[in-house]
């Protein structure tokens, strides 16, 4: 199969990811932080090493400010619900994934005020609108680093500057950028960074996390056994245990550590260059396909390797189905769990087909997909839907 769905979860993983997991499950096995015996010590070391690799990647001083979670959604819920209180105000955008919009929607029913900045048709946010939306009770800006639908990169450096200027928190959702773009939490003035482990960081599913800056105190969403400070009925106020209740997915974290080492060995820049090369090849090749329209910005520096398009005469789902069944190309057609973004782009009705590229995709695969789309476009149903649909 040609796999163009790495924005959902990257595949394949580098071989060392599975090797690290296999080693963990066969030779280590124990729960980190849960006893003093040799195996738990080794499990601890593996988890700590992964924390250090993440800290190094994101320019975080203290690895213990990094917390492992089930996935990025879990991390976003912990960040957003842990930070916001009744009567406070939060600013977000119309390009967010449901992992941001839905927790915020829940908070609205608990007296949190939410301002959603409407982005333009390319998914770009207006910094003036962000700054003008700030109120005396504004607590945070919660923003995606790049759209999971059309890849638009947000002006995070400017957002960080605005947040610092007004002394409000900046929660950055790096679901589509961790391991893909440079993220320096200090330079960007990020208060809380949330990330998946299984996309650009090349780890397995079931991994993700968040960085919580030293001056940020989140209420816990989940309490329980922490393996240390066990005497008290309250959660111990030590990092990272405060936010890591229950048994960690240590086998997954072992795999994530191997993914991070792969990133470091091959080089983030080289990987990014390859992925953007494929993105550009696809965009350029698609220009000559009649009825195919690419959404989002076209310039390299304005996007990540996630490309969405429509094909005249088709609903997105029909294209996705044909790509799968006739050409064995796996992509994602639909709303991409981001209905607001599709409303913003004007594609809520017909939806979009999304291709997302990884380091392991090839130019030949892109060319094959272009050929497939050219054929599907040529076979457009006779009864053409009204334009714009």
Q: CB-wise, 348 or 368, nearer to its own copies?
A: 348
Number of other CB atoms surrounding residue 290 within 10 Å: 11
Peptide bond into 95 cis (omega under 30): no
Told to check if 381 binds its own copies by CB under 8 A, we report no
Residues 250-279, mask of contacts with its own copies (x by CB under 8 A): xxx--x------------------------
Neighbours of 134 (CB within 10 A): 18
| Tally: H helices and E strands in the chain | 11, 13
Nearest distance, CB of residue 71 and its own copies, angstroms: 4
State in angstroms the smallest separation of the CB of 322 from its own copies: 11
Considering only 163-171, 244-252, 288-296, 306-314, which stretch makes contact with its own copies by CB under 8 A? 244-252
Q: Do residues 329 and 5 touch, judged by C-beta distance below 8 A?
A: no
Q: How far is the CB of 43 from its own copies (least distance, A)?
A: 9
Q: Which is nearer to its own copies, 277 or 339 (CB)?
A: 339
Angstrom CA distances, 302 to 11, 87, 212, 276, 305, stand at 24, 35, 27, 11, 10
Per-residue x/- mask for its own copies, residues 315 to 354, rule CB under 8 A?
--x--xx-xx---xxxxxxxxxxxxx-------x------
Is 216 near its own copies (CB under 8 A)?
A: no
Quote the least distance from Cβ 47 to its own copies, whole Å. 11
Stretch that binds its own copies, among 4-12, 58-66, 184-192, 281-289 (CB under 8 A): 4-12
Least Å from the CB of residue 77 to its own copies: 5
Q: Token pair of 47, please?
A: 């988890």
Token match 């007296």: residue?
111
Residue 163 or 256 with smaller CB distance to its own copies:
256
| Distance of closest approach, residue 69 Cβ to its own copies, in angstroms | 7
Residues 37-96 that bind its own copies (CB under 8 A): 37-40, 69-74, 76-77
Instruction: Please say which residue, 333 or 376, places its beta carbon nearer to its own copies.
Output: 333
Q: Which is nearer to its own copies, 155 or 236 (CB)?
A: 236
| Sign of the dihedral defined by the CA atoms of residues 174, 17, 279, 274, in that order | positive
Name the token pair of 287: 């220009």
Judged by CB under 8 A, the chain residues 102 through 131 that form the site for its own copies are 102-103, 105-106
Q: Residues 151, 200, 209, 227: which binds its own copies (CB under 8 A)?
A: 227
Name the minimum Å distance from CB 189 to its own copies: 25
Q: What is the dihedral of CA 119, 125, 128, 131, to 10 degrees?
A: 100
User: Do residues 98 and 334 make contact, with C-beta atoms less than 8 angstroms apart?
Assistant: no
CA angle 12, 332, 383 (to 5 degrees): 145
Helix, strand, coil proportions of the chain in percent (round to 5)? 40, 15, 45
Helix (H) or strand (E) holding 212: strand 208-212
Contacts (CB under 8 A) with its own copies, residues 143-202: 196, 198
Q: CB nearer to its own copies: give 122 or 247.
A: 247
Torsion on CA atoms 356, 362, 364, 369, rounded to nearest 10: -10
Judged by DSSP in three states, 31 sits in coil
Nearer to its own copies, 54 or 163 (CB): 54
> By rule CB under 8 A, what count of residues binds its own copies?
89
192-196 sheet: strands from edge to edge: 66-69, 208-212, 192-196, 169-173, 138-144, 89-93, 113-117
Contacting its own copies within 277-296 (CB under 8 A): none
Residue nearer to its own copies on the CB measure, 163 or 210: 210
Candidates 6-14, 51-59, 276-284, 381-389; binding stretch for its own copies (CB under 8 A): 6-14
């Amino acid at each position: 199969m040609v796999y163009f769905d790495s924005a959902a979860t990257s595949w394949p993983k580098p071989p060392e990811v599975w090797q690290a997991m296999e080693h963990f499950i066969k030779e280590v096995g124990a729960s980190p932080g849960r006893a003093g015996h040799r195996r738990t010590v080794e499990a601890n070391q593996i988890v700590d090493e992964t924390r250090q690799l993440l800290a190094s990647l994101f320019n975080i001083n203290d690895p213990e400010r990094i917390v492992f979670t089930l996935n990025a959604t879990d991390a976003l819920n912990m960040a957003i619900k842990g930070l916001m209180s009744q009567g406070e105000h939060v600013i977000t955008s119309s390009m967010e994934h449901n992992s941001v919009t839905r927790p915020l929607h829940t908070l609205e029913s608990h007296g949190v005020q939410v301002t959603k900045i409407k982005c333009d048709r390319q998914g770009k946010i207006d910094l003036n609108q962000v700054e003008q939306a700030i109120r005396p009770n504004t607590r945070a800006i919660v923003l995606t680093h790049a759209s999971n639908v059309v890849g638009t990169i947000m002006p995070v450096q400017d957002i960080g500057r605005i947040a610092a200027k007004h002394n409000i928190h900046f929660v950055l959702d790096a679901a589509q950028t961790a391991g893909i773009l440079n993220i320096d939490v200090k330079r960007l003035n990020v208060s809380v960074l949330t990330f998946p482990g299984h996309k650009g960081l090349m780890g397995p599913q079931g991994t993700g996390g968040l960085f919580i800056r030293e001056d940020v105190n989140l209420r816990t969403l989940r309490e329980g056994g922490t393996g240390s400070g066990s005497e008290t009925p309250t959660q111990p106020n030590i990092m990272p245990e405060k936010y890591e209740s229950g048994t960690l997915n240590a086998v997954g974290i072992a795999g994530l550590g191997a993914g991070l080492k792969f990133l470091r060995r091959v080089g983030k820049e080289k990987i990014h260059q390859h992925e953007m090369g494929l993105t550009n090849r696809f965009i350029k090749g698609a220009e000559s396909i009649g009825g195919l329209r690419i959404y989002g910005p076209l310039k390299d520096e304005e996007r990540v390797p996630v490309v969405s398009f429509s094909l005249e005469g088709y609903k997105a789902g029909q294209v996705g189905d044909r790509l799968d069944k006739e050409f064995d190309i796996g992509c994602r057609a639909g709303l991409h769990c981001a209905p607001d973004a599709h409303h913003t782009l004007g594609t809520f009705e017909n939806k979009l087909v999304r291709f997302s590229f990884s380091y392991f995709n090839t130019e030949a695969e892109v060319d094959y997909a272009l050929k497939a789309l050219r054929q599907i476009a040529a076979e457009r149903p006779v009864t053409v839907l009204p334009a714009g649909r």
